[in-house]
Amino acid sequence: MANLSSRPLTPFTILRGAVVPLLFVAFWQALSSSGLINPVVLPSPVAVVVRWWAYLLPSEAYDPAQSGWFLWALSGEMLTDAWSSLYRVVLGFAVGAGLALPLGLVMGTSERAYGLMDPLLQ
């Protein structure tokens, strides 16, 4: 068996690796375009890219009198939404770890606690 890291990277290997993701996106687009799925529930990939692009673009024209270019470039909705998403992820991780760590310690030190909690966690 050949070592994967020693195999040359050819256009064919890149294309072969992209087949499944491309088929998935094509199937998603076909499903969305057919009307079988509500676009509010599952928008098409094209709609997702268009919305993503709109999120990246600032809503107002650049005015150097108001602020610098960097602040203008980051004034779109994407940054605000990204920060709120990051906040939810970090908060969820903190809550999960805050509950799981003490529970794991108790289950690891007490056979009775392990016997009571293991069926629930499995």
pLDDT, tens only, 86-122: 999 999 999 999 999 999 999 999 999 998 888 888 8
Q: What is the predicted pLDDT for the residue at 75?
A: 66
Q: What is the predicted pLDDT for the residue at 53?
A: 80
Q: What is the pTM of this model?
A: 0.46
5-43 pLDDT, tens per residue?
666 778 887 788 888 889 999 999 999 999 888 888 889
Q: How many domains does the chain have?
A: 2
Same domain flag for 42 and 81: no
Residue 81 belongs to some domain of the structure: yes
List, in sequence order, the alpha helices (H) in the chain.
11-34, 45-56, 69-73, 77-109, 111-121
Residue 1 belongs to some domain of the structure: no
- Kindly compute the dihedral angle of the four CA atoms of residues 43, 45, 49, 54, in this order, to the nearest 10 degrees: -20
- Domain membership of residue 111 as a residue range: 64-122
Residue 116 belongs to some domain of the structure: yes
The label of the residue with tokens 């890149």 reads 14
Tell me how far apart the alpha carbons of residues 50 and 35 are, in angstroms, rounded to a whole number: 19
Q: What is the predicted pLDDT for the residue at 19?
A: 87
